[in-house]
Amino acid sequence: MQIHSLIPELRAALQNRGRIAIVPTMGNLHAGHIALMTQARAHGNTVVATIFVNRLQFGPNDDFDRYPRTFQADCEKLAAAGVDVLFAPGEADLYPEPQQYHVDPPEIQHQLDGAFRPGHFRGVATVVLKLFNIVQPQVALFGKKDYQQLLVLRNMTRQMALPIEIVGGETVRADDGLALSSRNAYLSGAERAEAPRLQRLLKHIGTAICDGNRDFVGLESEAVGELDRNGWKTDYVAVRRQSDLQVPQAPEEQALVVLAASRLGVARLIDNVEINAASGH
């Protein structure tokens, strides 16, 4: 596996490498990331992973300084997964001058997760567009755990007419259902045992909707109440349309997703469950 931190060197290394599939990450890799690397192999001749902890997407009260950085272990995992090229720029490589041009997503950036992390999706979209311009991939893969991020990036790619296919990878979970996340490392032992409750509640909402319950607000409130009674501090539990993450307007809408973000101790966990009510799943 080649490792590059400088943009000119990376571009030279990617000349004549066929169809390129990119998997952008912030490092501290887990099995969910590696599943995307494996999936990427089916989409390209050359698999490029990136590791960059992007300051632009962190707010003043976020965990930029303590975000886990495990570069050597990450490199070993990527090499074992068959990744061809790793792009791991320093901050001065990617932002050699203050970033004054930004990608400003539409109103969706201020909803759901964006309501609690102002500027987050602006920072994500800006760095991803920059990575796309540097690597020039034909395919890019992102995990569905970050459902809103996937929607923002897919819409950005389409509206900017970028010749890139966006592929969403299914959420990888521990045996007890907890979605894998770098931030799970913040959980204490007792919190880790409690954490799977989040997915169980989302699945419960999905089952209720498939059984005909269309009281979305009631289902959301019930879930928040159970989380709060068990020591969580919940930002939101929300039923939305899969297509645009807006509130369902018609009772017959079937392709839905229930999303949540809640804090357990110092760890802020996000998760989602897709609901296809017509098929009962």
Q: Which amino acid is at 11?
A: R
Q: pLDDT grade, residue 111 (50/70/90)?
A: very high
Q: Which of 194, 213, 195 is nearest to 204 (CA)?
A: 213
What letter does residue 3 receive in the DSSP assignment? E
Share of the chain above pLDDT 70, in %: 98
- Is 110 a catalytic site residue? no
* pTM score, whole prediction: 0.94
pLDDT for position 112 = 98
Catalytic residue among 4, 30, 33, 120: 33
Structure tokens at 190: 């007792």
Comparison of pLDDT for 68 and 234, the residue scoring more: 234
pLDDT for position 80 = 98
Task: Please write the tens of the pLDDT for every residue from 231-253.
Answer: 999 999 999 999 999 999 877 78
Q: pLDDT grade, residue 201 (50/70/90)?
A: very high
Structure tokens at 24: 């952008």
Distance CA 89, CA 187 (A): 29
pLDDT at 43 over 80: yes
DSSP string, 48-91: EEEE---GGG--TTS-TTTS---HHHHHHHHHHTT--EEE---H
158-171 mean pLDDT: 98
- Contact yes or no for 80/33 (Cβ under 8 A): no
